[in-house]
Amino acid sequence: MSHPSTLPTVRLGADGPLVGTQGLGCMGMSEFYGPTDTTEALATLDAALEAGVTLFDTADVYGSGANEELIGPFVRANRDKVVLATKFAIERRDDDVHYRGIRNDPAYIRTAVDASLRRLGIDVIDLYYMHRRDPAVPLAESVGAMAELVQAGKVRALGLSEVTGAELREAYAVHPIAALQSEWSLFSRDVEISAVGAAAELGVTFVPYSPLGRGFLTGAFTDAGELAADDYRRFQPRFTGDSAAANAALIAPVQKIAAARGVSTAQVALAWVHQRADVHGLTVVPIPGTRKRTRLAENTAAATLRLTEAELAALEPIASEVAGARYTDMSSTGAARE
């Protein structure tokens, strides 16, 4: 198929900036998905911008700050074109690689934003997300503190990640929310329970993360045991043991459609997310993650690939048949609070 040189644009939230309808997830450039190469990562950022990608996604927790530091110079060099999204709320500990603490209290938020601004080397974050929700802190208190960051000029727009539809509405009543970022793919559709409908109703842009099922939907690996010893996916229930084998078989219809259309499996998976959003009347900006320039033309072209009704019907049963949860510990996901 032909590759458009630029992506169509959509608005972020009710009155946010226009962004390319597919963003770039930068997480894997610093951690989680195998070896990283700084030169290639930086070249990938430039190539993404050239391809029409303008929403670049990071978080303070990725590489414990290293991901923000990595992309900072790129953001500064292209400040008028890049819409930079980062996140707070997940704390890590040096002595336990698996430890994740959730912090939503206002004092923490005020410290976190300054640390992100410093690492990125910028004075304002375009989109600041609460990465995970701590139900022990009233949502209005956390969103109130985030709104104060907007008033202080440190943040332009607010986002939430892994919240339910009810939580999104509650937050929106405190301050407009531009974007909801949660996992959404052929393998992970729990957001369709309530979050997607609430986002559509409120005019919140949905930013599906892991739209390629952390790479599994591309068929690049069929068991996380094939991956590097420190690859995060080795610890995820879906990608190991009997679940991996069962889930690998579920990709067959994706591969069949890709072969018949002369496109890649990744492109079918991404096109599905775009079209599923249309069904819900929702603006969507998926953020496939990659460390490599070679993926960009392929992934951005998927934003304009249209699957037929018959193809969509063939893909429909997949999510309900997936074996294994999407996290080892699901307790901090929106799905756990539905």
Ligand X SMILES: NC(=O)c1ccc[n+]([C@@H]2O[C@H](COP(=O)([O-])OP(=O)(O)OC[C@H]3O[C@@H](n4cnc5c(N)ncnc54)[C@H](OP(=O)(O)O)[C@@H]3O)[C@@H](O)[C@H]2O)c1
Q: Which residue ranges make up the site for ligand X (CB under 6 A)?
A: 25-28, 33, 57, 131, 161-162, 181, 209-215, 218, 220, 264, 266, 287-292, 295, 298-299
The owner of tokens 């976190």 is 112
Shortest distance, position 217 Cβ to ligand X, whole Å: 7
Q: Which is nearer to ligand X, 198 or 273 (CB)?
A: 273
Q: Which is nearer to ligand X, 4 or 310 (CB)?
A: 4
Q: How many CA atoms lie within 13 A of 201 on its CB side?
A: 10
CA distances from 213 to 20, 151, 224 (A): 21, 36, 13
Question: Which of 62, 128, 172, 209 is the catalytic position?
Answer: 62
Q: Which is nearer to ligand X, 163 or 200 (CB)?
A: 163
Instruction: Retrieve residue 156's tokens.
Output: 């332009």
CB 55 within 8 A of CB 83: yes
The owner of tokens 């002595």 is 95
Shortest distance, position 79 Cβ to ligand X, whole Å: 20
Residues in contact with 76: Cβ distance below 8 Å, sequence separation at least 6, in sequence order: 120, 121, 122
CA distances from 42 to 3, 47, 74, 286, 292 (A): 22, 9, 7, 20, 9
Distance CA(186)–CA(211), nearest Å, equals 8
232 is catalytic: no
Shortest distance, position 172 Cβ to ligand X, whole Å: 18
Shortest distance, position 210 Cβ to ligand X, whole Å: 4
Distance CA(204)–CA(206), nearest Å, equals 6
Other CB atoms within a 10 A radius of the CB of residue 326 amount to 19
DSSP label of 157:
E
Other CB atoms within a 10 A radius of the CB of residue 305 amount to 17
Shortest distance, position 326 Cβ to ligand X, whole Å: 10
Q: Which is nearer to ligand X, 154 or 295 (CB)?
A: 295
Q: Which is nearer to ligand X, 86 or 243 (CB)?
A: 86
Shortest distance, position 170 Cβ to ligand X, whole Å: 19
Q: Which is nearer to ligand X, 27 or 145 (CB)?
A: 27
- Residue 133: left (phi > 0), alpha (psi -120 to 50), or beta? beta
Distance CA(55)–CA(78), nearest Å, equals 12
State residue 59 phi and psi, 5-degree precision.
-160, 155
CB 215 within 8 A of CB 21: no
Q: Which is nearer to ligand X, 152 or 259 (CB)?
A: 259
For the annotated catalytic residues, the residue numbers are 62
